Structure formats: C-alpha cells, structure tokens
C-alpha cells in the first residue's frame, strides 16, 4: 500500500456520550425550530390553542424512531446510520435512497438556517435595514455556512466544544423566556394573554387532517437528534452511548418545546403567532417578555441556535456521504479522511458547497423559503426516519419473541413510529399536491413542498437504479437478519476509507 493510501479512520473515542447528546439536541436547534415552526402550526394547520397537543403527538413517532436508532446502532455503529441500517434490513436500493434523503434533508434545511442566521446576525447589531435586504442576508448566510463548514473540517472535538457553548446559551435563554412569560401571564394584565388550560393538550379536539399537517411540521421541529448518532464512530462506547443519547435527546426536546410553546401562546395568543408564522420571536414578543436589553439575549440565542444547527447538519451529512462511499455506493473520494483532523474532509466541503448553492437558488425561486423548505424537508425526514423504524422491526424479527421488552423496543415501537410517519407522509403529499394549499406559487401544478420533498425522493430512486451499473458490488448485497448473519457481515466488511492530507 502506498504511503498516501494509509488507512485512516475517524477519531475513535474522541467525544463522550454527553457530547453526543449535545450534538443531537443542538442539531434540532430548538430555538430556531420553534421560531420558524410554531406560527405555521397555529396558522397553516389551523388548530387554534391546541399547538401544545400537536407538539406532544409529534413527539410520539420521534421517540419510537429514537428507540429504533438505539437498537440498530447496537447492531452496527456505522456513521451512515439510516443508510447503513436500511441497507442491512431491506437491501441496497432502499438503503441508498435513505442515505440520499439524509443528504438532501441536511442540505435543504441549511437554506432555512442560513437565512435565519443572516437576519438575526444583522438584528443583533441593530442593522435592521440590512436584515430586510435579501442580498445582504444571502451574503451573510453564505458566510455562516462557509465558516461552520471550516469548523466541521477542523475536527469533531472543536465542533463538540462549539456546540456545548452554543446550546448552553440557547437553552438558558429559552427557559428564561418561558419562565418570565408565564410569570407575567399569571401575575400581570398582559394584553391578549390567556391562562393555559388542560384543553390545550387535547389532540382529539383537532381535526384529523389539521393534526397530520401539524405533525408534519412538528416532525421538522424535532428532527436533528439523530446527528448525535451520526458521530457514533467517534463516541466512547460507540455501540451503546449514541443510541441512549438519541433517546435522551428526544425527551429533553419535548420538554423544552412544550414549555416554550405554552409560554409563547399564553403570553401572545394564537392570533399573534399566526400573523408572525415566519418567526414568532421576530416581532415584539421577545421585547415584550424580556424587556429592553435582555431581548438582545434572545436574539443572540436564536442566532446561536441557527449557527449550531447549521454546523450540526453539515456533520451528519458529511458522515453519511463517508459511509456511502466506503460501502461502495458513491465515489470513493467521499470516503477520504484527513490525516490530522480525522474528519471526512472532501465530503464536508462538498456538503458545505452544495448547501450554499441550494441556499442561493431557493431564495431566488421560492416566495416563502421557510415554509417550503420546512414542509419539503418534512417529507424527507418521514421517509428515512420511517424506514429506520421499519428496519429495526424487520432486522430483529427473530428476536422479538425473546421477551416483552424486546418485542416493544425492537419491534412494536419502531414499527409504530414508521407507520405514523408513513401516514403523515401520504396525507401531507395529498394535501400539498393541491397548489391551493401552498403559500408559494405552484410549479407545474404542484406545491413547492412536494417538488422539494417528494421530488427529491423520486430523483433518489432514479439515481439508485442508474448507479447499479457503476457500483454493482454494492447493489448485489442481500438483506440481513439478526441472529442469522454470515461471518464478516458487520461494519468491517465495508471498504476502508483512505487518508488524505490537505
């Protein structure tokens, strides 16, 4: 083997389970996600005061899929996560499309986060004119993506340290906002405020279609905790810690999401939230709750939220590409790992570059970047999360009779999560296929979210068929089942990545 082809892996045992959980929670960007999703839940799904109920219902499939991630990570702690696991359970075609869905979801959502970071970056310094200037916001958003791509390239440890700082500020501020808002609601005479009631948490008071559309948005809101599993190969106790961190991440997320939802709705009312659906914190809400001075802390927290999310979407996307390359599913160039930084250098830079290209493109095409990207990404998330749930139930099918716990955690709950997400996917596709239900201008008779989400999945299947010719070895793989795998069926069977110097 030539010197420049020395085998190099990702940095083993580089981060703790806590850091894995931090990356997972930070990737969901609770502040950013609530800001750009809560108003759409209230307005688009039309559920009045029942947004907290939607957030709770949306958590159910997320928790079920987190159990699937924990189960499949024990079988194969591969940084490709859903790509590797759906390939293992259902074969290479579904596996390839799952990997494609991860990559596209991460790239698409960066447009939201970059635009958000651009706006709040200017607002932090009182440059409101620039915050409303599309060109200025685009330039600053591109700069954010470029800088965070560079941090991801430098190594997993600098990335983890950055995430701990950003997430700490974000969670502190969100809790502070919620506590102050609820205190003012219960003790003051706040205009348009309403005391929380148990009825807010009743999903049966919401119509079936509005509930499903709301859950599609909630799926986007909770999405991202799997980033903590994508760094499994770099986490101590790689086969157990990342999966446990995923489950813990979802539990922490539902707590903070429901708390902020209740506080914002109680203080401002549903009318305000629906009128400010693109950013519920972007109007007067932060200033009214925290007052002058501290409202800047909220702006800083939301800026850190979108910044953290941008970084933690680049991380899993690059590692998914790395896994696909070393499995022989895409060009092996994506499997190159930098000798010193121990990161997938080429894949990281490609993901960053594609995120910039998509961001610049979508702000020119879409009349509502946030709504279209959120909903379009929801379709992609439902697909690869759902198939991960199905993968656990199918892969472990011989193990389900061993105990009630095995049946529930390996089979029933993951499959339930998959079924719920599949139902949300189908119903939402039917709704958004009617351009009258889309806030943007339709393209060729279909809503923009369908073109983004479903269109990218169709393209993924087309590419999977086309790539059978250049990558026959990968596409000849057979599905596996727990308890009946042939010798050498684990991660060691894949092609090892090459190390490269910058």
* pTM as predicted: 0.84
Angle at CA 334, nearest 5°, toward 312 and 115?
35
Phi, psi of 20 (to 5 degrees): -60, -45
Give the phi and the psi of residue 7 in degrees, each rounded to 5.
-70, 130
The pLDDT assigned to 369 comes to 57
Measured CA to CA, the distance from residue 379 to residue 425 in angstroms comes to 6
| Cβ-based neighbours of 90, under 8 Å, separated by 6 or more | 387, 390, 391, 394, 479
User: What pLDDT was estimated at residue 5?
Assistant: 39
Averaged over successive runs of 10 residues, the pLDDT of the chain (502 residues) comes to 50 76 80 82 74 89 92 90 94 94 85 79 83 87 88 74 76 90 88 87 84 79 82 81 84 90 90 80 79 78 76 82 92 87 88 89 67 76 93 93 92 94 84 65 65 87 94 91 61 34 33
User: For 300-439, where are the E strands, in sequence order?
Assistant: 337-338
In the chain, what are the domain boundaries? 15-500
Residue 443, strand partner residues: 446
HSE-up of residue 354 (Cα within 13 Å, Cβ side) = 18
Give me the pLDDT at residue 500, please: 36
Taking phi over 0 as left and psi of -120 to 50 as alpha, with beta for the rest, 343 belongs to: beta
Alpha carbon distances (Å) from 352 to 111, 114, 149, 197:
11, 11, 6, 45
pLDDT at 396: 94
Return all residues near 198 (Cβ < 8 A) that are at least 6 apart.
Answer: none
Indicate the fold that domain 15-500 takes in CATH: Amino acid/polyamine transporter I (1.20.1740)
Write the CB contacts of 53 (distance below 8 Å, at least 6 apart in sequence).
47, 200, 201, 202, 203, 205, 206
Would you state the pLDDT for residue 44? 66
Do the beta carbons of residue 418 and residue 369 sit within 8 Å? no
> Apex CA 393: angle with CA 20 and CA 409, to 5°?
55
Which residues pair with residue 274 across a beta bridge?
Answer: none
What is the pLDDT, as a whole number, of residue 484?
A: 65
Three-state secondary structure readout of 195-249 = CCCHHHHCHHHCCHHHHHHHHHHHHHHHCCCCHHHHCHHHECCCCCHHHHHHHHH
Length of the chain: 502
Distance in angstroms (rounded) separating the CA atoms of residues 93 and 248: 31
Q: Residue 388 corresponds to which tokens in the numbers above? A: 């991960």
- Dihedral-angle region of residue 368 (phi above 0 means left; psi in -120 to 50 means alpha; beta otherwise): beta
């Amino acid at each position: 083997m030539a010197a420049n082809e020395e085998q190099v892996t990702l940095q083993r045992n580089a981060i703790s389970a806590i850091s894995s959980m931090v990356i997972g929670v930070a990737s969901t960007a609770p502040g950013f996600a609530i800001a750009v999703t809560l108003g759409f839940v209230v307005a688009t799904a039309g559920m009045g005061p029942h947004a907290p109920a939607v957030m709770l219902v949306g958590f159910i499939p997320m928790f079920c899929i987190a159990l699937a991630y924990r189960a499949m990570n024990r079988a194969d702690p591969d940084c490709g996560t859903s790509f590797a696991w759906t390939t293992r359970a259902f074969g290479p075609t579904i596996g390839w499309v799952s990997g494609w869905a991860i990559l596209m979801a991460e790239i698409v959502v960066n447009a939201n986060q970059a635009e958000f970071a651009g706006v709040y970056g200017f607002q932090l310094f009182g440059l409101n004119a620039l915050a409303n200037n599309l060109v200025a916001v685009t330039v600053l958003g591109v700069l954010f993506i470029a800088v965070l791509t560079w941090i991801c390239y430098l190594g997993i440890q600098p990335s983890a340290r950055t995430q701990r700082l950003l997430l700490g500020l974000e969670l502190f501020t969100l809790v502070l906002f919620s506590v102050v808002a609820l205190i003012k609601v219960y003790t003051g005479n706040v205009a348009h405020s309403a005391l929380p009631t148990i009825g807010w948490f009743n999903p049966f008071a919401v119509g079936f279609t509005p509930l499903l559309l709301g859950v599609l948005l909630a799926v986007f809101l909770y999405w991202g905790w799997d980033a903590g599993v994508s760094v499994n190969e770099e986490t101590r106790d790689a086969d157990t810690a990342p999966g446990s961190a995923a489950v813990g991440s979802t539990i922490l997320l539902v707590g903070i999401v429901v708390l902020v939802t209740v506080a914002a709705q109680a203080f401002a009312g549903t009318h305000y939230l629906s009128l400010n659906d693109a950013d519920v914190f972007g109007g007067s809400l932060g200033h009214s709750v925290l007052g002058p001075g501290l409202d800047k802390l909220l702006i800083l927290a939301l800026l850190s939220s979108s910044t953290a999310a941008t970084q933690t979407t680049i991380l899993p996307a690059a590692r998914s590409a790395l896994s696909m390359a070393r499995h022989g599913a895409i060009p092996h160039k994506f499997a190159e790992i930098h000798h010193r930084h121990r990161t997938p250098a080429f894949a990281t830079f490609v993901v960053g570059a594609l995120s910039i290209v998509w961001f610049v493109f979508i702000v020119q095409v879409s009349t509502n970047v946030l709504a279209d990207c959120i909903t379009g990404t929801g379709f992609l998330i439902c697909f690869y999360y759902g198939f991960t749930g199905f993968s656990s139930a199918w892969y472990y099918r011989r193990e389900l009779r061993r105990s009630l716990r095995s049946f529930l955690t390996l089979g029933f709950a993951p499959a339930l999560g998959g079924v719920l997400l599949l139902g949300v996917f189908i119903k939402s596709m039917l709704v958004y296929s009617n351009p009258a239900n889309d806030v943007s201008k339709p393209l060729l008779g279909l809503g923009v979210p369908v073109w983004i989400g479903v269109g990218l999945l169709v393209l993924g299947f087309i590419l999977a068929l086309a790539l059978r010719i250049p990558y026959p070895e990968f596409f000849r793989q057979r599905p596996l089942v727990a308890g009946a795998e042939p010798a050498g069926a684990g991660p060691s069977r894949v092609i090892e990545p090459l190390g490269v110097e910058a």
